[in-house]
Structure 1
Amino acid sequence: MMTVALGDPIPDVKLLDADGATIDLAAMAGAPLVVYFYPKADTPGCTVEAQDFTRLAPDFAHLNAQVLAVSRDAPARLCKFRDKYGLTVRLASDEAGTVCEAFGTWVEKQNYGKTYMGIERSTFLFGADGKLAREWRKVRVKGHADAVLEAAKAL
């Protein structure tokens, strides 16, 4: 499995945002970039995480940092999620899972004794040079967006 590692450039992959516009991830180099992966739109932990990044959006913008939230939900579902909670973080759809594969976030998980494949909540911070500066795997939502902001300030 291909996966991005510290010092690697932003993977050359494309996604669709909630409105169906194409996002060329590699073209986002030139400013700090936060890419965070969450399992499913409109679920408790994912909602809190999106609300936390939305709350901090002005602080990320002050750093000229872009924030992109990625799940395997369809754009229409992301649009409903965004509108329901007034989210300002840009939501991206990876229905095919190619971006999850590139970042190594599509993993085997277990819940109530059942094994299945799903997104491991993870965050990646790229510097303005387009290289991976920090990564967080198996993220716990509480306080996470604040920690990512602090790391972005240190770039």
Structure 2
Amino acid sequence: MGSLDDLIRDLKSFEDRKVLTKELRKEIRKPVPEVRKMIRRRALVIMPQSGGLNVYVSQTKVTAQVKLSGRSAGVRLRGGRNNSTGKRSDILRIDQGKVRAPSWGRRGRNAWHTQTVPAGFFTGPAGEVDTWRQAVLDAVDSALEVIRRG
């Protein structure tokens, strides 16, 4: 069983690096649809239903960013969503358990308050997925095997 550090080191000298990294990224991203479903289900269950916050948060776009070089090599799961004014919603803050909402429907300056909501709708399911971990390990092992075969 190889590690990601071994793979990155060996990739530098491999001739067909682009083909191998493309396949590796594809294999690592395979569990993303399952993770998306888990995040959406969790948001629908734990977020407040009144006002539709649970539906709004469950429609967060989830993407996987795979980086195979440098010191910060790994997989990063990102979530984002535009709000009604076209700006980005603060999904990280909502995941931490805080959401800003207009007070009594007023959207003017100083008419907002912070509301506490259950934390972990995004980080909980993303960290619990064992198939994700296994997919990464399998992809790294198969790529190392291809490199060592030449």
Does the TM-score normalized on the shorter chain lie above 0.5?
no
TM range (shorter): under 0.3
Q: TM-score, normalised by structure 1?
A: 0.24
Greater radius of gyration (CA): 2
- Which structure's residues are more often strand, by fraction? 1
Q: TM-score, normalised by structure 2?
A: 0.25
- Which structure's residues are more often helix, by fraction? 2
